[in-house]
Structure 1
Amino acid sequence: MVDSVVAFVLQVAKCLAPLTERQFCCGSNRNYTSTFENLMEEVQRLRDVRLVVRHRIEEAERNDAQIVRIVEEWLATVDEFIAEAEMFVKDENEANKGCFKGMSPNLKTRRRLSKEAKRKLNILLQLREAAASFDRICYRTIPEDTWLISRTGYEAFGSRASTLDGIVTALKSPDVNMLGIYGMAGIGKTTLAKEVARVAMNDRLFDQVVFAELSPFPDIRMIQERTADGLGVIFHEESLSGRADRLHHRLMQEKTILIILDNIWDRLDLAAVGIPLGDYHRGCKVLLTTRSLDVLSGMGSQPNFFVEALNEEEAWSLFAKIAGDDIHVSEFNIVARDVAKTCAGLPLLIVMVASALRNKRLFEWMDALQQARNFEGTFPTVFSAIELSYNHLQEEELKKIFLLIAYTYIASVDELLMYGMGLGLFEGINNMEEAKCRVHMWVDKLKASCLLLDHVCKDENHFSMHDVVRDVAIAIASRDLNVLRLTDELVNRWEWLDDSEIKLSSSIILHGVKTNKLPEVLDCPLLELFSISADKYSKLMIPDNLFTRMIKVRVLVLTNCMHLFSLPSSLGLLKNLRILCLCYCNLEDISVIGDLKTVEILSLKGSNIEQLPVEIGELTQLRLLDLRTYSELKVIPPNVLSKLSHLEELYIGDSFNKWEVEGLNNASLDELKHLPNLTSLELQIKDVNTLPRGLFFEKLERYKICVGDEWHWRDWLEVDVLPESCREFRLQLNTKICFKDGLIVQLQGIEVLCLSGLQDFKNFFDELLKVGSSQLKHLSVQNCYAPNLRESEV
Structure 2
Amino acid sequence: MGNLCSVSISMEGSVSRCWDCVVGQASYTCKLEDNLKALRKELEELQARRDDVNRRVDLAEQQRMKRLNEVRLWLSRVQTAEAEAEVLIKDGPQQIQKLCFAGCFSKNCKSSYNFGKQVTRKLTEIVDLKNAGVFERVAENELAAQVDVRPVGSTVGLERTFDEVWRLLEQNNVGSIGLHGLGGVGKTTLLTQINNKLSNDLIGYDVVIWVVVSKDHNIEKVQEKIGEKVGLSHNETWKNKSFDEKAIEIWRVLSKKKFFLLLDDVWERVDLIKVGIPEPDQENGSKLIFTTRFLAVCGQMGAHKVIKVECLSKDDAWKLFKDKVGEETLDSHLVIRGLAKQVVDECEGLPLALITIGRAMAYKMTPKHWEYAIKVLQEFPHKLASMDKKVYSLLKFSYDNLPKNTMRSCLLYCSLYPEDFEIPIDELKDYWFCEGFLDEFDNIIDARMQGEDIINSLLNACLLERCKDSAECVKMHDVIRDMTLWIACECEALEKRFFVKIGLRAIKAFDVENWEGVRMSLMYCQIKDLRGTPTCPNLQTLFLNSCRLKVISDGFFQFMRNLRVLNLSSNYLLKELPQGISELISLECLDLHETYISELPIQLNKLSKLKYLDLRRTSHLHKIPQQLICKFSMLQIFKMSPINFIDVGIDNALSSSGDSLIEELKCLQHLKVLWIEIRTDFALKSLLSCHNLRGCTEGLYLRA
Structure 1 length-normalised TM: 0.64
> C-alpha separation between the residues in 2 aligned to 1:139 and 1:227?
13
State whether residues 182 and 189 of structure 1, in contact with CA within 8 Å, keep that contact through their aligned partners in structure 2. Answer: yes
Q: In 2 relative to 1, CA 472–368 (structure 1 residues): closer, same or farther, beyond 3 Å?
A: farther
Partner of 1:182: 180
Q: How does 1:59-98 map to 2 (within 5 A)?
A: 69-70=69-70, 73=73, 77=77
Structure-2 change in CA distance of 1:29 and 1:442 (3 Å) = same
The letter of the residue matching 1:483 is L
SS at match of 2:320: helix
Q: Which residue of 2 is the match for residue 306 of structure 1?
A: 308
Q: Give the one of 386, 398, 403 matched to 2:395.
A: 386
User: Equivalent residue for 1:443?
Assistant: 455
The equivalent residue for 2:173 is: 173
Could you say which residue in structure 2 is the equivalent of 1:222?
Answer: 221
RMSD of aligned residue pairs (Cα, Å): 5.4
Q: Helix, strand or coil for the counterpart of 1:376?
A: helix
Question: Is the partner of 1:267 in helix, strand or coil?
Answer: coil
Is the contact made by 2:533 and 2:555 (CA closer than 8 Å) also made in structure 1?
Answer: yes
- Encode CA deviations 1:112-160: one digit per residue, 9 max, x unaligned: 3222133235545766898998987998762465535x76543464541
Q: Give the distance between the partners of 1:97 and 1:78, measured in 2 at CA.
A: 29
Given that 2:605 and 2:628 are in contact with CA atoms closer than 8 Å, whether structure 1 keeps it comes out as: yes
TM superposition shift of 1:191: 1.6
Structure 1 residues 521 and 280, CA gap change in structure 2 (3 angstroms): same
Q: Hey, what's the Cα distance between the residues in 1 that align with 2:548 and 2:32?
A: 84
Q: Report how far residue 472 of structure 1 moved.
A: 3.3
Q: 2:511 is matched by which residue type in structure 1?
A: L
Deviation per CA, 1:520-554, whole angstroms, max 9, x where unpaired?
467x6xx7x3315289467996642523xx1x543
Aligned to 1:147: 149
- CA deviations over 1:225-273 (Å, ceiling 9, x no partner): 2333333331312643344344334433x42222222112233333443
What is the aligned partner in structure 2 of residue 601 from structure 1? 589
Specify the code of the residue in structure 1 equivalent to 2:665: L
Quote the sequence identity (%). 23
Match of 1:544 in 2: 533
- Cα deviation digits, residues 344-372 of structure 1 (max 9, x gap): 21222222333344465364773465355
Paired AA for residue 557 in structure 2: L
What is the rounded CA distance, in whole Å, between the counterparts of 1:333 and 1:81 in structure 2? 78
1:608-687 aligned at under 5 Å gives the runs 612-619=600-607, 621-626=609-614, 633=620, 636=623, 638-639=625-626, 642-643=629-630, 646=635, 648-650=637-639, 659-664=645-650, 667-668=654-655, 669-670=657-658, 671-673=660-662, 674-676=664-666, 677=671, 679=673, 681=675
Q: What is the one-letter code of the residue matched to 1:468?
A: V
Give the corresponding residue for 2:194. 196
Q: Decide which of 472, 476, 484 is 1:473's aligned counterpart.
A: 484
Q: CA–CA distance in 2 between the matches of 1:587 and 1:339? A: 56
For 1:187, the aligned partner's letter is V
Quick one: which of 578, 585, 588 aligns to 2:564? 578
The Cα of 1:193 is off from its aligned counterpart by 2.0
Structure 1 residue 448: Cα displacement = 2.5
1:280-310 CA-to-partner distances (Å, cap 9, x unmatched) read 9955553332112223333444433221111
Residue identity in the other structure for 1:180: G
Matching of residues 396-435 of structure 1 within 5 Å: 396-406=405-415, 411-413=422-424, 415-417=427-429, 419-429=431-441, 431-432=443-444, 435=447
* SS at structure 2 position matched to 1:569: coil
1:346 alignment partner in structure 2 = 350
Equivalent residue number for residue 471 of structure 2: 460
Distance 1:590 1:288, change over 3 A: same
> Are the structure 2 counterparts of residues 245 and 67 from structure 1 closer, same or farther at C-alpha, using a change threshold of 3 Å?
closer
SS in structure 2 of the partner of residue 263 of structure 1? strand
- The offset of 1:662, in angstroms, is 1.0
Count of aligned pairs: 636
Q: 1:28 to 1:307 in 2, by over 3 A?
A: closer
Which residue of the partner structure matches residue 511 of structure 2? Answer: 518
Q: Is the 8 A contact 2:377 2:397 kept in 1?
A: no
SS in 2 for 1:580: strand
Q: Relative to structure 1, is the Cα distance of residues 416 and 291 closer, same or farther in structure 2, using a 3 angstrom cutoff?
A: same
- Amino acid corresponding to residue 348 of structure 1 in structure 2: L
Is the Cα contact below 8 Å between 1:403 and 1:477 reproduced in 2?
yes
Q: Choose from 247, 262, 265 the match for 1:263.
A: 265
User: For the residues of structure 1 that align with 2:444 and 2:362, how far apart are their CA atoms?
Assistant: 35
In the alignment, which residue of structure 1 is the partner of 2:243?
A: 240
The answer to whether the 8 A contact 2:147-2:207 is kept is no
Secondary structure of 1:147's aligned partner: coil
Deviation of 1:71 (Å) = 6.1
The residue that corresponds to 2:211 in the other structure is 212
Shift of 1:321: 4.1
Return the letter of the residue paired with 1:615. Q
Q: Does structure 2 retain, via aligned residues, the 8 Å contact 1:338–1:369?
A: no
User: Is the Cα–Cα contact under 8 Å of residues 601 and 623 in structure 1 kept in the other structure?
Assistant: yes
Residue type of the alignment partner of 1:274: G
Q: Tell me, in whole angstroms, the C-alpha distance in 1 between the residues paired with 2:524 and 2:91.
A: 82
Instruction: Measure how far apart 1:211 and its partner are.
Output: 0.8
Q: What letter is aligned with 1:531?
A: M
Residues of 2 paired with 1:576 and 1:163: CA distance?
56
Sort the Cα spacing of 1:153 and 1:546 in 2 relative to 1 into closer, same or farther, 3 A. same
Aligned letter for 2:309? Answer: V
Counterparts of 1:51-66 in structure 2, within 5 Å, are: none
The alignment's TM-score, normalised by the length of structure 2, stands at 0.71
- Aligned residue for 1:110? 112
Q: How much has 1:580 moved relative to structure 2?
A: 1.9
User: Corresponding residue for 1:530?
Assistant: 519
- Counterpart residue number, 2:321: 319
Secondary structure of the structure 1 residue equivalent to 2:648: coil
Query: Deviations 1:663-690 (Å, cap 9, x if unpaired)?
Result: 249753415423344855489xxxxxx9
Gaps of 5+ in 1: 1-26, 486-504, 684-689, 701-724, 730-741, 745-794
Where in structure 2 are there 5+ consecutive unaligned residues?
1-26, 99-104, 689-696
Whole-angstrom CA distance in 1 between matches of 2:454 and 2:490: 23
Separation in 2, partners of 1:565, 1:58: 46
